[in-house]
Chain A
Amino acid sequence: MSIYKEQNPQEIKKASNIALLSLLNLTFLPGIAFIVLMLRLKQTSKTSFSYYHLLVAIKLNLFAATALILVSILMIFLGGFYSAWTWVFVITYFVLGHSIFITFAVWALIRSWSGNKIKS
């Protein structure tokens, strides 16, 4: 159930914006949205609800970058750029992995809207 009323509306708004930036970094504004997220680190109180979502967003995006970019590069490096099988694995893996990260970012956004942590 929602615990919407328990959080400060301003904190919910901040957390929602952070979760939205996280989603944007995974979709339309890769890199740019992440820089904005990093800039928020200094502006956000460490004990606040929005800081919790900021940490989730940064961890999620760092993990996504590692899983999607580094692992894909590693697969290409090990499999060879001109191998069909490399691209079979890289494209399939990237599309599925990317979708899973986007779905998780959507869930984080919804939880922030309702003033919840990821696990309540």
Chain B
Amino acid sequence: MAGHQTLKGKDIMDTLKFKSQIVAKPYFIFALMLFVGQILFGLVMGLQYVVGDFLGGTVPFNVARMVHTNLLIVWLLFGFMGAAYFLVPEEAETELYSPKLAIVLFWVFAAAGTLTILGYLLVPYSTLAEITGNEYFPTMGREFLEQPTITKVGIVIVCLGFLFNIGMTILRGRKTVINMVLITGLIGLAVFFLFSFYNPANIALDKLFWWFVVHLWVEGVWELIMGAILAFILIKITGVDREIIEKWLYVIIAMALISGILGTGHHFFWLATPGYWQWIGSVFSALEPLPFFAMVLYAFNMVNNRRRDHPNKAATLWALGTSVMAFLGAGVWGFLHTLAPVNFYTHGTQITAAHGHMAFYGAYVMIVLTIISYAMPKLRGIGEASSKKAQVVEMWGFWLMTVAMVFITLFLTGAGILQVWLQRLPESGEALSFMQTQDELAIFYWAREFAGVIFMIGLLTYLANFLVDKKEAVKS
């Protein structure tokens, strides 16, 4: 824990405003470890697209996919929690209500997450369902929500403890717009997760409520979390007045909620719902790029009008990068296939995968890496920023990962267009089957795998930046 961790005469409190902020550090470290795992399984799965029996006996495709997506969600949750533990005390101008609770919850969540992933890898999914008592309260078997019921209960307990800790800190401290938006987003995250416990037998109803978790997370409340973290970082690195940044934040979250909530309708197009959902879903989800567009305007405007030159250039790059990539991935690539007449042909194709990859990377991976970039030098006792050399390495990581993700998206988009052409457009029995189509897309999958390897190299480069300043870091 924080307080008096000294090395070579330095104290962690030289760089942190509140000693309890140090609890964010294990969250960030564990998040990055899971990130590596996520990309590793992404590479395995990417190869399985073209070499079908690669590790087939050990890690089947469905398991690799489950681990890839679940690790993403879990490491982002660790990142959001770390972000909250770091920024809430600073915003509220008070110590965290209970640093001990934060550490206990970290170990509970880390143990539950690790056991779940090991369960996916070591036993057949049906056995995992059996040994975790899924039959008594069935919630398993749906993509992204594959966790055993007991793990889901654990997530709820961790979320409640986390919200209690953050909420009590805010209650006894300064109430800022950033804190309020952040906790609104985090409460929303917890509330909408509860729909994962509702598992109707009717598959259309099941999917409908499944989207209440998945869509209202990533195109709803997570945008509030992203907006709050971005606002915090922009205040710190630009020195622009809080009032200006807060006004932008209000506009962005209003646009996000107005477009995102009814935008859920774009998932209801083909779920046996009334036809008016095709209009509601199309119109409101066509508005969904607007908050991301506003974020580009906002981030670039704040950096352009900055009142100070913050030494942490890497954090500034991440902040600008997340706004642009979120606009491209969530905004533009979302709009590409969101209108009902287009989605009729494109839903469930590689175009969705293209959108998913760039949107998650741009909006949520990059915002977590932004706060890590800003916070880590302070949490490690280095100072306001890492050394120039470390920042250069970090920025290499940024560019390698970002350019690789652009290419992954482009290759998947190409694959998706060809897939629609071969599998969806032809009528009168001329369409290729799913598997025949997949064979035709092999060139794109090889190219995507190559870009994935570059992404992994970028991630390792990014992680190497932490080694550059190893000697300067205060041990904690």
List A contacts of B304 (CB < 8 A): 2, 110-111, 113-114, 116
Which residue of chain B is the closest to A98 with respect to CB atoms?
A: B332
Are A87 and B417 also in contact (CB < 8 A) when A96-B410, A99-B328 are? yes
Query: Which of A92, A106, A110, A116 is in CB contact (< 8 Å) with B414?
Result: A92
A84 in contact (CB, < 8 A)? yes
Which residue of chain B is the closest to A90 with respect to CB atoms?
A: B417
Q: A92 contacts B328, CB within 8 Å?
A: no
Grouping DSSP codes into helix (H, G, I), strand (E, B) and loop, the A interface class, with mixed when no group exceeds half, is helix
Give the number of chain B interface residues (Cβ < 8 Å). 24
Alpha-carbon gap, A111 to B304, bound state (A): 7
Q: A110 contacts B300, CB within 8 Å?
A: yes
Query: Which of A1, A91, A113 is in CB contact (< 8 Å) with B301?
Result: A113
Q: A95 contacts B422, CB within 8 Å?
A: no
A81 in contact (CB, < 8 A)? no
Q: A103 contacts B296, CB within 8 Å?
A: yes
Alpha-carbon gap, A48 to B326, bound state (A): 36
Are A92 and B413 also in contact (CB < 8 A) when A99-B328, A103-B296 are? yes
Give the number of chain A interface residues (Cβ < 8 Å). 23
Query: Which of B297, B305, B307, B336 is in CB contact (< 8 Å) with A95?
Result: B336
Q: B414 contacts A103, CB within 8 Å?
A: no
List B contacts of A84 (CB < 8 A): 417-418, 421-422
B12 in contact (CB, < 8 A)? no
Q: A87 contacts B305, CB within 8 Å?
A: no
* Minimum Cβ distance to chain B for residue A90 (Å): 9
Alpha-carbon gap, A89 to B327, bound state (A): 22
A-B contact pairs, 25 of them (CB 8 A): A1-B307, A2-B306, A4-B305, A84-B421, A84-B422, A87-B417, A87-B421, A88-B417, A88-B418, A91-B413, A92-B417, A95-B332, A95-B333, A96-B406, A98-B332, A99-B328, A103-B327, A106-B293, A106-B296, A110-B297, A110-B301, A111-B304, A113-B304, A114-B304, A114-B305
A positions within 8 Å CB-CB of B: 1-2, 4, 84-85, 87-89, 91-92, 95-96, 98-99, 103, 106-107, 109-111, 113-114, 116
Instruction: In the A-B complex, list the 7 residue pairs whose CB atoms are closest, starting with the nearest.
Output: A84-B421, A88-B414, A2-B305, A88-B417, A110-B301, A110-B300, A99-B332
